[in-house]
Structure 1
Amino acid sequence: MGYFHPTSYAQQLILRPDSTKRDTTLQLPLNKPDTTVKKTTSKGGLESEVLYSAEDSIISDRQTNIVKMYGKARVKYQDMELDADYIQYDQKNNTLFAKGLINPKTKRYTGRPLFKQGSEQPITTDSLFFNYKSKKGKSYGVYTEAEGGYLQAQQFKKNEYGEGNFVHGVYSSCNLPYPHNHFGINITKGIVTEKQIITGPAYLDIEGVPLPLGVPFGFFPKPNKRSGGLLFPTFGEDVRGFFMRDLGYYIGLNDYWDLATRGTLYSKGSYELSSAARYRKNYKYDGSLNFRFASTRNGVEGTEAFKHPNKDFNLTWSHSQSPLANPGTTFSASVNAGTGSFFQNVPGAVAYNPTEIARNTLSSSISYGKVFYDGLFNFTSSLSHSQDIELGTVALQLPQFNLGMTTINPFDSKDRAGEQKWYQRISLGYTMQGSNSINTTESELFDRETLKKFQNGIRHDIPISMSLNVAKFFQFNSSINYSERWYLQTKRTSMINTRDGFRDTSYMVSGFSRVYDYSVNSGFSTKLYGKFNFKKGNLMALRHVMTPSISANYQPDFGASRYGFFRNVANDTSTVAPRRYSIYEGSLFGAPSVGRVAGIGFSLDNNVEAKVRSTADSTKSSVNIPILQSLTFSGAYNFAAESFKLSTIGFSGRTALFKQKMGINFYGTLDPYQLDGRGQRIDKFTISNGKPARLTNFGLSTDFSLNSTAIKSRNKNLNQLEANKQNLTLQQQDELNAISRDPNAFVDFNVPWNISASYSFNYSKNDLKAVVTNTLNFYGDFNVTPKWKVQYTSGYDFQRNDLSLTTFSIYRDLHCWDLSFRWSPIGPYKFYSMDLRVKASILQDLKLSKRRDFYNNF
């Protein structure tokens, strides 16, 4: 099929003003800004007036009643609007002719007519005739957007019923002037009505080559509201047999909800079902709900494994509320729950996503929050769930709530003038926490006896504090902390005699019980500054800031018998002191600590900066570079303790290298006491043997990132989209959510390169045996050319001496097509997949896929 050249017909229709008829022509001066002439309604004539204007000139012929407009001409009649570089208006016959003009400098055809009528999609043409009274017209070289793509046709004719007939059309999601050079569906002829498009014979054309695949006719509904439709399946084969995958139906429930239900059938008896619903109300809320169920038969037909299929399900729900919907109230949900074997038994669920393949946990949270009493109180509540897929354990919080009060100064006055007195600095706070939780296994989750194992409790905390400046250089802080916990169950432990000897047995006693504790703490802190100047070189000075603090604290021994929080084990007849236990052991908020505390706490924080001469910025003579952003040591000494009076010394720090591109965090614990031959602590300091404290724990983590400046612009754009999320379509919101979940999977050809890596190291030695773990992960991407991008992700486990899950991805931007190749060459989850598909979602079934995964070889 030959394609219509936009200028081939328009060049024959160039009309120029005739200077020989000056006595019958009204010629407006050139370059006169927006001259407008109005034609009023005459009796028996038009129903309303015609408005027309032009930026260049308007020529009116009184004999023929023809008006010619040049340069950004415009005509408007009722709901019809026409814009073009040249418009000829025949007032006698109520007709319009419009076309573009050839620019004498660029020799290009510009100013094509743009025609719009009512709520219909605007149409761009090379030229057109239109009778605005009968509403009949004919266009040449039509270009318009239709049904998520673009429709171009050589000729388009419209009748008085609003129906359009076209010949030699091309439909494509490609927005180039000649889409058939990439791909297009060639339509020999067709009819466009308000609610449908009917076509004659059509065939696919790729890179200008017509394929021997076509259809004799086509029918496409074009409703002005949501409607349902069949979701076409894909066919193939894997170890479960021949399959028909994702056959379904889409339903537009109303203006706020839609639902897509799909099913997959396998010839060997397995099947999968899924329902995905999306909802949105502008400036109120939006979300999605997805439920998937699978019945999978494994093994050889006739075996026990085949007779009893695995039943698995997965439920996801995400919901977000606009801050404008109900100020002061928040509600959100992020749910991912189901059977732990779902991702192992349903290979299609992972969709070649390494994150899903390696997933070993599931978690959910539904939260509600409200601020009331002018912001004085803040209430939050949540339902949460966490699931360990490997261990098969489930933890539920049904529900968990928190009521917090903003810290107030009860002795201060709103009308106070001047500085606060010491008693006006006393502050008071209050928080209440409540929880009802259970830890169980997947197999026992829905048993009746499991419901009796729920643990519940409420905790109240009342902190009272005061802060003062003393002698200008010292900060004095004092506080009293009171905590009270309410429980509905307490524990009882006794010793019984069995065939295997004496052993402990425990049971729970129902009934309300309260437990409390309190502590008093006071301390001083200050800052010490040190500076060392250098006279030569770029290094000008080193600045060291130390923040020492010391505190005194006291807490009674709540293990004493008079409180009743601890008891002796019943029937313990040992000659030594009977063993004691807390009746609140295992409770949600724990029990008070045993033993009196009367001691001191101490900490020292360090910050080191370098001041260097600036060579890059002429407006600054020097810049400050952080060397140690923080290095903190902390510990405590309890004078009232019978042994081990000195606590372990904890330290932590952080710094950054290479202009803050590489962050380093480290932490550790020093134990000042010795170990005996069995690896147990004894009450002797290591320093008595001339050795420093033992390092019992040390951890280090670092992350490194190098990227082009374009990635900052990308992240800024993503943040702007997130801020305006309520104004996006459902499809745009889904795409943004996918990017937010995994920004590294977002293919952006505008970012030339990006390199990131992370490393973690941990050493622990609490007895005679040391345990070391360290892992390295790295990922990134780079553009081979402006249209080719390579992504990679991998890592190395030094303990196993093996690479972690490694994947490579190659993407090719083919303008209106996407080509992607993903490959995981090592490990238990080897796979590769290649997809060539059209970008437009409306043509999502127009694709070619080839894949082989760890589950099958098809």
Structure 2
Amino acid sequence: MYPFLRHIILSIVFLTGLHWCYAQENPVVQRPIPIIQDSGKVETPVVVTQEALVEQDSTAQDTTKPKAFLQYKLESSAKGYNRFDRRQNTLTLYDQAIIVYGDIRLEAGKIIINNNTGNVYAYGIVEDSTNAYVQKPIFTQGANKVEPDSIIFNKDTKKALTYNSKTAQGEFNVVAEITKKVNDSVFFMRNARFTTSSNPENPEYYFLARKIKFVPKKKIVTGLVNMYIADVPTPLGLPFAFFPMTNERRSGIILPSFGNDNNRGYNLTNGGYYFAINDYVDLTVLGDYFTNGSYGARVESSYRKRYKYSGSIRFLLEESIRSERGFSDFAQTGRYNINWQHSQDANASPNSRFSASVNLGSPDFYRNSFNQTNQSAQLINNLSSSISYSKTFPGEPQVNLNTTVSINQNVNTNTTNLTLPTFQGSVSRVFPFASEGGLKKGIIQNINLQYNVRGENRATTTNDNLFTPDIFKDARAGIQHSIPISTNFKIAKYFSVSTGANFQENWVFDTIDQTLVANESGNQVIRRDTMSGFDSYRTYSFNASLGTTIYGSFTSSNPEAKIQAVRHVIRPSVSYNINPSFDQYYERLLREDGVMVSEEERFFSRFEGTLFGAPGRVFSSNIGLSIQNNLEAKVLDPDSEDGELKKKQWIKSLNISTSYNLAGDSLQLSPLNLSGVIPIYKDVDLQLNANFDPYALDANNQRINTFNINNGGSLARLTNAGARFNFKLDSKDFEKGAKDEDDKETKVESTTLRNGGRADDLFGDPIDPATGNFLDDEEPTQQDVDLEDSLYRFKIPWNLNIAYTFTYNNARRQNEISGNSIMLSGDVEFSPRWSIGGNTGYDFVGKGVSFTTIRFQRDLESFRMSFNWNPIGVNNSWFFFIGIKSGALSDIKYDQRRQPDPRF
């Protein structure tokens, strides 16, 4: 037992580095015990244990236990060796050395711990083969990480001194020659470089400061600082600087951009303040000012509550001035725009939903705005806004309610159509004669009906009177009830029959009274008087249809034939519609003295001009004929080595339709309509349409009740025809197996589309004027990252959009091509960071070049540069931007633009 205890005591003495051991009364001097070495043997490494790092008590009866030398347990390891020097009281760890002390972790090639002073020295090591300095220290404390060339750290005071250290804080990378760590929250640095570049060893740019006070996750305060680009000093410098460093949103000033506009003079744009209100909503207030007196203001806010709703709202107000007051060409105009997008999470309320998509403003806003760079939005003709709320009451039958407020502005005609509001309600289909188990067979059990109601308050006004009391001066209101009843059944197993009837009742609150009066010139004119009061009318109709499906197929007996099978699907159908005459709602037109107009039969309905119009006075009984065709085949796949088959559509659809009015006294046969969709290349479809009229024209080019063939012409006249196709080609189409299904998806929810642009980006993406970024930029894919890492780029991605439209008219012997135009748009990526694109088009009828742009985008790693140019037309303008991509330094930018000439 005694030898065992002796070994324990000796181990404690060696491993803790203690020179004296204290008893309860008097200290006893200990003699150093030499390490015994055998001849020819390597010194046995000393292993540091957890127990050796804690001071041992001499007695358990002492009520005042001494404080331990180490506050935390010191854990250490090394791949090479652990060597303890008893005389110097130091511990050396070599090759992949690691020590952990509390929340501090230190990794290095060589670590020396001095127990006398509490200092810890960490260095890298030099490889014998390459003479390279490797395994540099990595010092980690909490979330802070420093990578210096060497470090001195005191485990008692927790102060440190590092040389050539590198640390990352948020978006910043900081490299300093000497760094002094005062405590956990304050660092002092000398000759420090800080940058947002991802390569701090060789950054594209950096700021050099002679002295820095660095507070992790909070701020960097510097003395004299200069900006270097590619290691070249620039005249951009400040006597002192403050850089906030936080991952949280903070309120702060947004620095404006300086520029010069040919029409408005020098300007400061996009300057203001950002308010980080809370975790759910923020607010940005920006302003523009021009030296000629023009100004603009913009308020933007985004909000989001997880699993509830999200959205954004933006209000813009601008006042534009041309020339100087007192001059003949002086003009001043104001414009505004309100954009609100709100969407509700599907899980927030399964039985109710609220949504909003508002784009309301001045007609000329997108064409003359100071900061509008959405090129496709400059071509829009309508601004649409809608706010809707829907509610569903589950059960049997289910009840659905919906109310919508919508506004549609035509920017060319300066008219605005409003529905404030539209109310819709419906009750799901009810099968009153179905069996108890829900099975429905035959004509009786398939009888079903439902109830629909629709109410509207519709008004038409001008954009200038949109917010005036006269907006509802000529508004029309009404409510429409409808009850459709239908059933379906089979005849002779192969024929499907469906029949139905529809009953409608319309309520209106204003009617029209018409009287024939004489004007000042003595001519007879119709005077229309509005009669206020509730009124209603009822209508009904009947319809039936008979259809079947015919299949024709061919199968090749030769297994090596290219075409193995062909299938032709024909769907003929015959329909019948009857609409009675509701002449009870019509009356003869009277003169002002009450005398009936006898020289001609003139009738009118008091419901003319109401919301849902007047009921039909002409009895109609129509038979409709239609044939739908589809042709597809199974062919050998040329890309398959096993001879697999693939389905190929030759004709997606080929439809022929016409009708015959049994109740008509002339022109009973309707024109023959022909439409088809034919695939011509992969996902590219050629859409065709044509109309053929069987009746002839008279000398005044009016249709007459004579067949064209009986008038010396052909069987039918081609009155109009059209062809169009729209497709996209890119480099992946010519790479085997490189085309993904995801590429076919269309971007339907984007900033471009919300502002009136096209979903196929035919005119390019919009650019945020404050940052120069494309608003719908996507994150780089792994393929892009791999291309950046490669030495050479053998493949250059590209894409090309083509849209072509052709229209021919000959309804009145005009024999003209009314439309013939082509639009092209494309982009080429010469490198993963460099792309050039543009769009143009040509109108062969108008003989002119359509809207044309040239765009250039260059990713300079830490910087972003873009250039957009509209070289021709009324929208002649250009926009150049270069700036730091990092959000922390987004105010360091330069942009210059030439706006289109304002149109007043």
TM-score (norm 1): 0.85
Separation in structure 2 between the aligned mates of residue 100 and residue 374 of structure 1, nearest angstrom = 74
Match of 2:864 in 1: 818
- Amino acid paired to 1:803: V
Separation in structure 1 between the aligned mates of residue 207 and residue 696 of structure 2, nearest angstrom = 81
Separation in structure 2 between the aligned mates of residue 200 and residue 40 of structure 1, nearest angstrom = 45
> Does the CA contact (< 8 Å) of 2:377 and 2:752 recur in 1?
no
Matches within 5 A, 1:105-504: 114-118=138-142, 120-146=143-169, 148-160=171-183, 162-180=185-203, 182-193=204-215, 195-222=218-245, 226-238=249-261, 239-303=263-327, 306=330, 309-346=332-369, 348-351=370-373, 353-373=374-394, 376-413=398-435, 415=437, 420=441, 422-500=443-521, 501-504=523-526
Match of 2:609 in 1: 586
Separation in structure 2 between the aligned mates of residue 230 and residue 776 of structure 1, nearest angstrom = 47
Alignment match of 1:628 (pick from 636, 651, 663):
651
The DSSP-based 3-state class of the residue aligned with 1:176 is coil
Aligned CA distance change for structure 1 residues 434 and 128 (closer, same or farther; 3 Å): farther
Matches within 5 A, 1:615-694: 615-660=638-683, 662-689=684-711, 691-694=714-717
Separation in structure 1 between the aligned mates of residue 55 and residue 484 of structure 2, nearest angstrom = 82
Report whether the alignment pairs 1:804 with 2:850.
yes
Instruction: Compute the displacement of 1:792 (Å).
Output: 1.2
Match of 1:522 in 2: 544
Deviations 1:312-351 (A, max 9, x none): 21221222222233333332222221111334443x2323
The DSSP-based 3-state class of the residue aligned with 1:356 is helix
- Amino acid paired to 2:828: F
Match of 1:729 in 2: none
Alignment match of 1:709 (pick from 724, 732, 735):
732
The DSSP-based 3-state class of the residue aligned with 1:449 is helix
Deviations 1:232-274 (A, max 9, x none): 2223333223323333222222222222222222222222222
Match of 1:753 in 2: 798
> Does the CA contact (< 8 Å) of 1:343 and 1:349 recur in 2?
no
> Does the CA contact (< 8 Å) of 1:27 and 1:57 recur in 2?
no
Separation in structure 2 between the aligned mates of residue 715 and residue 567 of structure 1, nearest angstrom = 62
Query: Identity percentage over the alignment?
Result: 30
Aligned CA distance change for structure 1 residues 377 and 117 (closer, same or farther; 3 Å): farther
Separation in structure 2 between the aligned mates of residue 133 and residue 326 of structure 1, nearest angstrom = 58
Instruction: Compute the displacement of 1:41 (Å).
Output: 9.4
The DSSP-based 3-state class of the residue aligned with 1:618 is coil
The DSSP-based 3-state class of the residue aligned with 2:654 is strand
Separation in structure 2 between the aligned mates of residue 259 and residue 45 of structure 1, nearest angstrom = 54
Aligned CA distance change for structure 1 residues 100 and 302 (closer, same or farther; 3 Å): same
Unaligned runs of 5+ in 2: 1-36, 57-65, 766-773, 785-795
> Does the CA contact (< 8 Å) of 2:626 and 2:655 recur in 1?
yes
Deviations 1:122-153 (A, max 9, x none): 44444444445533223333333335332222
Aligned CA distance change for structure 1 residues 297 and 27 (closer, same or farther; 3 Å): closer
TM-score (norm 2): 0.81
- Amino acid paired to 2:588: N
Deviations 1:98-132 (A, max 9, x none): 566677888876665555544x4544444444445
Aligned CA distance change for structure 1 residues 134 and 464 (closer, same or farther; 3 Å): farther
Aligned CA distance change for structure 1 residues 193 and 813 (closer, same or farther; 3 Å): closer
Highest relative contact order (Cα 8 Å, sep 6+), 1 or 2?
Answer: 2
Separation in structure 2 between the aligned mates of residue 234 and residue 721 of structure 1, nearest angstrom = 32
Separation in structure 2 between the aligned mates of residue 99 and residue 734 of structure 1, nearest angstrom = 53
Instruction: Compute the displacement of 1:185 (Å).
Output: 1.0
Instruction: Compute the displacement of 1:761 (Å).
Output: 1.9
Instruction: Compute the displacement of 1:519 (Å).
Output: 1.9
Unaligned runs of 5+ in 1: 1-17, 29-35, 724-732
Separation in structure 2 between the aligned mates of residue 385 and residue 736 of structure 1, nearest angstrom = 17
The DSSP-based 3-state class of the residue aligned with 1:709 is helix
> Does the CA contact (< 8 Å) of 1:38 and 1:49 recur in 2?
no
Aligned CA distance change for structure 1 residues 456 and 133 (closer, same or farther; 3 Å): farther
- Amino acid paired to 1:282: R
> Does the CA contact (< 8 Å) of 2:173 and 2:200 recur in 1?
no
Separation in structure 2 between the aligned mates of residue 718 and residue 613 of structure 1, nearest angstrom = 24
Match of 2:100 in 1: 75
Match of 2:630 in 1: 607
Deviations 1:499-541 (A, max 9, x none): 2311112232222223332222222211112235567852344
Match of 1:509 in 2: 531
Separation in structure 1 between the aligned mates of residue 258 and residue 574 of structure 2, nearest angstrom = 72
The DSSP-based 3-state class of the residue aligned with 2:874 is coil
> Does the CA contact (< 8 Å) of 2:481 and 2:506 recur in 1?
yes
Separation in structure 2 between the aligned mates of residue 190 and residue 80 of structure 1, nearest angstrom = 24
Deviations 1:153-199 (A, max 9, x none): 2332222362111122222221113244x111112220123643211
- Amino acid paired to 2:378: I
Instruction: Compute the displacement of 1:546 (Å).
Output: 0.7
> Does the CA contact (< 8 Å) of 1:172 and 1:179 recur in 2?
no
- Amino acid paired to 1:630: S
> Does the CA contact (< 8 Å) of 2:688 and 2:724 recur in 1?
yes
